[in-house]
Chain A
Amino acid sequence: MSAETVDRGTSAPSSSINPESVGAVAKKDFQDAVRSWLFWGLSVFFFTLLVATTGAVAYFGEDLAAQGATTDVLVGFVSEITRLIIPLIALVLGWKAIAGERESGSIKILLSLPHSRKDVLLGKLIGRSAVLSLSLTLGFALAAVVVAVLMGGFDVADYVGLLGVSIVYGIAYTSIAVALSSLTRSTTIAGAAMFGVFVLFYVVWNSLSTAFRLLADREVLFFDTVSYTTEFQGQEVTVERLPEWAYFVINLDPGEAYGRVLTLVTDVDTIQLQSELDAQMFGGELPFFLQDWFALLILVFWTVVPVAVALYRFDRVDL
C-alpha cells in the first residue's frame, strides 16, 4: 500500500488496540449513556442515599456529633449501603454494553468504522465506568453540601476517600459486567449472567465464611482449624480459626476488598467485614495476602482479569 492511503494507526494489525479508537468509542458510549434516564436516576439515587443517611445520623446521633465521630458514622453507614448497591448498578449499566449492541445490530455501526473489537470492548468499559463514576461523583458532591449543613462540617478526606474507593469498586464490577456482556449475543443470557454474578458474590461468597466453619468443625477433608492463643478478659485462652487459605478465598470477594480498602484509605473503624482479621490470630502478623493493601490488588484483579478474558474471546467470535 502506498503511504498516503494509510491513515493514523490503521496500518496496525486488526486485533491491536488503538488509543484514539478506544477514545472515540468511549466518548460515543458516554454521550449515549449519559442521556439515558438510568444515568440521571443513579445520580438522584446516590444523592438521596447520602442525604437520607446524613439526615438519620444527624437526627439520631446527636451524641455522636458531640464526640466528633459523625463522618465516621456516615462513611460507615454509607459504605454498608454502597457495598451492596454499586455492584447492582454496575451490573445494570454494563449488562447490555456489548450484548445489546450485538442483539440490536448497532455494533455494525461501531465495527464498520476502523475500530478493532478490542477497541470497542475497552471503549465500552471506559465509557460505562465514566458514567458510573460521574453519577457517583455528582451524587456525592451535591450531598456534600447538605451533609456539611446538617452536620456542621465534616472530614473531607474520609468523604473523598469513600468516593474514590467506591469508584474503584464500581469499575471492577463494570469490568465484570462488560466482559460477561461480550460473551453472548443475547441480552437475556447476559442478564442471567449478571444475576449469576449477583448470586455468586452476595449469596454464595457471603456464606462461605459460615460454610467453611461448619466444614472445619466436622473436620472435613482439608478444612482443619488452626489453634491460637489470645487474651480474653485478662486470661489466656485457646481459640480455633480457619486455615489461612480459607480467609484468602473469603477475601477475594470484591465487596470484602472494598471494605478493607476503605479501612485503609479512611480512618473509620465502624466498617464491618465478613472476616474480622486480627494479627494475633496468625501469631502476631497477618500473612501478606490478608493485609489491607492486598485488598486493593484484589479490586485491580477483578478489573483486569474479566476484561482480559473478554479481550481474548471477543476477538474470535462471529458477531
Chain B
Amino acid sequence: MPAITVDGLTKSYGQTLALDDLSFEVGDGEVFGFLGPNGAGKSTTINVLLDFVRPTAGRVEVLGLDAQTHSREIRARTGVLPEGYRTYDRLTARQHLEFAIDSKGVDADPERLLERVGIADAIDKKAGGYSKGMAQRLMLAMALVGEPDLLILDEPSTGLDPNGAREMREIVREENERGATVFFSSHIMEQVESVCDRVGILRDGEMVAVDSVAGLRESVSDGTVLRVTVDRLDDEAIRSVRSLPDVSEATVENEAPPTLVIRVDGSKTDVLSALERQGLEVRDFSTSEASLDDVFRSYTTEVNAR
C-alpha cells in the first residue's frame, strides 16, 4: 500500500490554478523528494495532504486513508514540519514538545528529542528568542514526537546553515531506517539527491518528472549541456533547435545576456548552425556534462523568449 496517493488533484483559488490534475504515489518506506521552484504548488499539495485546504477536484489518500475524512487519524500517525509557521513566542521548547506529546497522546522525552536536533541546551528558553534555524530544529523535534509512520517536511532546510542541513538529512536517514516514509519538499536539488530514493519535479502545478535520482541522472548521463550566448531570444529559433533529432531539451537560462541551455547527444555544430540559420548571432558557447541541477533547471524553467 502506498504511503501517499494523489490522484487527479486540482486546486484553484478563484481564477488561479495552483494544482492541475496532479497525480503521483509515494511508496511505503520510501524517501521521496518533492522538488520544484517556489510557487510551483508544493505547499499547496502538502496543505491538501494535511487537510489545511480542500481540493477542487481529485482524490488524496495518506497511509491508505482519505485525507479529508480521516485527517485526524492521518495526523496522529504523521510528523509534520510545516512551512510558513510561527512558533509560540511565549512558550519554551519544552512546552512546545509537551504540547505535541499531549496532543498525540504518546510518551516521549522532550529532552531526548531536543538532543537529537541539537538544541537541548535551549530547552527552557522561550521560542520567541530563537533564531530561524533553532525554530526549525524545534519544529523538526515536534515532528519526530511519537515515532510517526510518515514524516512530511516542507522545505526543512529553511533557515539552516549547511551543517544544520546535513544534520537534518542525517535525521531523515535515521527515521527512514526506523521504517518511516519521508516526504519532503525543497526548491534546491542538491538537498534531495543525497537522501531521496525518488524525486518528483513539480512545475506550475504539474508533475513534470518522477524518477529515482539515479534514473534522472541516467536520463542525462550521456548528454552534454551546451550553453550558448546569443544576441537575442527568439521563440522560432528555440523551436527549431528543439526539433533537431539529437536535442532533448532547450531552455532559456538567462535573458541578459540571452543564454540558452541545450541538452544534446550528438553534434554540437548542428545546434549552432541551426541557431544561425534562424538569424541569431552566436556570441559565446561552452559545454559541460549534465548535472542534476541542469536536469532540474531544464524541467522547471519556463521558455520565455521574445
* Interface residues in chain A, defined as those with a beta carbon under 8 Å from any beta carbon in chain B: 1, 5-14, 16, 18, 20-21, 24-25, 27-28, 31-32, 35-36, 104-106, 108-109, 111-116, 316, 318-319
Contact = CB atoms under 8 A, between A and B. Distances in A.
Bin the interface of chain B by size: 35 or more
A106 B88 contact: yes
18 contacts: A5-B149, A10-B77, A12-B72, A13-B70, A14-B73, A24-B103, A25-B103, A31-B95, A108-B80, A112-B82, A112-B143, A113-B75, A113-B103, A114-B72, A114-B73, A114-B104, A115-B72, A318-B47
B91 interface: yes
B51 interface: yes
Given A8-B105, A24-B103, A108 B72 contact: no
Contacts of A108: 52, 80, 82, 84-85
A27 B52 CA distance: 23
Interface string B30-59: 000000000000000001001111100000
B64 A1 contact: yes
Given A24-B102, A105-B86, A115-B103, A6 B72 contact: no
B10 interface: no
The residue in A11, A14, A27 that gathers the most chain B C-beta atoms within 10 A of its C-beta is: A14
A318 B104 contact: no
Contact of B99 (A1, A8, A24): A24
A112 B75 contact: yes
Given A28-B88, A319-B47, 20 more contacts: A1-B73, A7-B104, A7-B105, A8-B105, A11-B73, A14-B51, A14-B70, A14-B72, A18-B72, A31-B91, A32-B88, A105-B84, A106-B87, A108-B85, A109-B88, A109-B96, A112-B50, A115-B72, A115-B103, A319-B53
B82 A113 contact: no
Interface of B: 47, 50-54, 64-65, 68-73, 75-78, 80, 82, 84-88, 90-91, 95-96, 99-100, 102-106, 139, 142-143, 149
Contacts of A5: 77, 149
B85 A13 contact: no
A93 to B, nearest CB: 14
Contacts of B52: 108, 111, 318-319
Nearest to B152: A112
B149 to A, nearest CB: 7
A16 B103 CA distance: 15
Contacts of A16: 72
Closest CB pairs A-B (n = 8)? A112-B80, A114-B76, A113-B103, A108-B82, A10-B76, A318-B53, A14-B71, A104-B86
Nearest to A108: B82
